[in-house]
Amino acid sequence: GQITSSMDPHDVVFRILPRKREGRDSPTEPWAWHLRPPSAFVTREFGTNGVVQRSSVRGDGFWVDIQAIVSPDNKTLTPTAGQPPEKQVVRSIIMHLSNSSALGSIRKIEGSCVPQHLKGTILGARGDKVWRDEPCYDQRLRCRISMDADGWRVDLAATKDLYADPENVCRLARNFLDTYTVRRDRIP
């Protein structure tokens, strides 16, 4: 898509159908997460905004990347749009939001902020699906952190200087997403 430096609101809506559970009535309306961040933060968008996710197939949904530069005091985020390329890769995070990853197991983890180098250890200790621990290699620009927002999984990619403090990355992302959330249904 088009990257803009406009601070006008950009509507983003993720919707998924509830899963049916035996012996329970499931809601007929899809769960939704409606955000309205400034357009300058949205760097990539794929799929149809507001489409209902009907399966777990990756190409069957809608996703958005929100990218921001973190201030030196770790308190504020500014959009990368309009910044020179060399500044876009220093102290920056990408928040990857999708309706196809809404029901991930990451939400069951205490704190729900899991850096990639501990993912397998944490999930394996709980007897959950086995994941690999993936160290943040020197040749990688960013490393991944998985986070939960009311049952919606948020995949974060943080530059190495920020990855050293994953809790702070998750706090910044949560504050940003909560600030610009119009509505977010809790997924049980």
What would the pLDDT profile of 68-94 be if each residue is shown by its tens digit? 999 989 889 999 888 888 877 788 999
Tokens for 18? 């509830």
Ranges of beta strands (E only) in 52-166 are 52-53, 63-70, 77-79, 92-98, 113-115, 142-149, 152-159
How many CA atoms, within 13 angstroms, populate the side-chain half-sphere of residue 66?
25
Contacts of 135 (CB under 8 A, 6+ apart): 116, 117
- The pTM score is 0.84
Greatest distance between any 2 Cα atoms in the chain: 56
The sign one gets for the Cα dihedral 42, 177, 151, 18 is negative
Distance CA 123, CA 92 (A): 27
Q: What is the pLDDT of residues 159-187, one digit of tens each?
A: 988 988 999 999 999 999 999 999 999 88
- CA dist., res. 106 & res. 28, Å (int): 25
Integer Cα distance of 56 and 158 in angstroms? 26
Average pLDDT in the chain = 80
The pLDDT of 9-36, averaged and rounded, is 79
With beta carbons less than 8 A apart as the criterion, state whether 171 and 86 touch: no
Please determine, for residue 1, whether its predicted confidence score (pLDDT) is greater than 60. Answer: no
Q: Reduced to 3 states, what is the DSSP secondary structure of residue 26?
A: coil
Higher-pLDDT residue of 42 and 61 is 42
Note the pLDDT of residue 84.
82
What pLDDT score does 108 carry?
Answer: 57
How far apart are alpha carbons 164 and 115 in whole angstroms?
Answer: 9
